[in-house]
Structure 1
Amino acid sequence: MMETPPSHKNADTIKRIIEPTIAELEKRGWTINYEKIKTGREITHVTFSWRKP
């Protein structure tokens, strides 16, 4: 995910990188949604959709 090393967990990447970034962009007027896609029990993809009014 996003070329992070295997030692990093996907949940940490989402919690520490993706969510704070989305929160900052939402303060500036963007509407951003993301969906975690799992293969089995592991998150393998994250899809984003965004819109600026």
Structure 2
Amino acid sequence: MLRAYRARRNGWELVSGSDCSDTGLFFVSLDGRPWHSEAITQRFDNLVAASGL
């Protein structure tokens, strides 16, 4: 899964022109900035609610 994510992220670099690898972070937004921890929590909560767990 991490390899697939990395491949997708590398595709973002081609589209956005930003180089996500310069940050040293693995999980970044489309513009290369790190995800805010609250955004990750909210996304997780939404996915759990949508799954019915």
TM over 0.5: no
Greater share of strand: 1
TM-score by length of 2: 0.29
- Which structure has more helix as a fraction of its residues? 2
Larger RCO: Structure 1 or Structure 2 (Cα < 8 Å, ≥ 6 residues apart)? 1
TM-score for both structures, normalised by structure 1: 0.29
